[in-house]
Amino acid sequence: MEAMLAVAIGLLFGCGVYLMLRARTLPVILGLALISYAVNLFLFASGRLVINAPPIIHADIKHYTDPIPQALVLTAIVIGFGMTAYILTLALRGLSESGDDHIDMVEKAESTSSTQVKKRH
């Protein structure tokens, strides 16, 4: 079970990095979301993977799950949702302002200036 979870975390993180290296805004946002999911799974796994164990420490209970990573993951899910909504709003505003969702505006500015220089000559 731990190996399967490690592969899932690695796959989510790898896909997130790949999407973040794209030149469009939506894949970058999706990449950030995938990386945040991978981090959430990692935090959840750090609390010892025990099946059917309560997150309560009691003298009678021998096997328990650490409740701190569960609380951290719950908080990270809420913060990640807010961050994703904010970044989507910024991306939509940038799309409406520039008319393009390409991230690297330097290339567009350089190609525009080079065509203007060619028209002058």
How far apart, in Å, do the first and last CA atoms of the chain sit?
A: 67
What CATH number should be reported for the domain whose range is 2-120? 1.10.287.3510
User: How many residues does the structure list for the chain?
Assistant: 121
Contact between 34 and 13 under an 8 Å Cβ cutoff? The reply is yes
- The pTM for the full model equals 0.74
For the stretch 27-73, pLDDT in tens is 999 999 999 999 999 988 887 777 777 777 777 877 777 778 888 88
pLDDT in tens, 60-97: 877 777 778 888 889 999 999 999 999 999 989 988 88
Give domain limits for the chain: 2-120
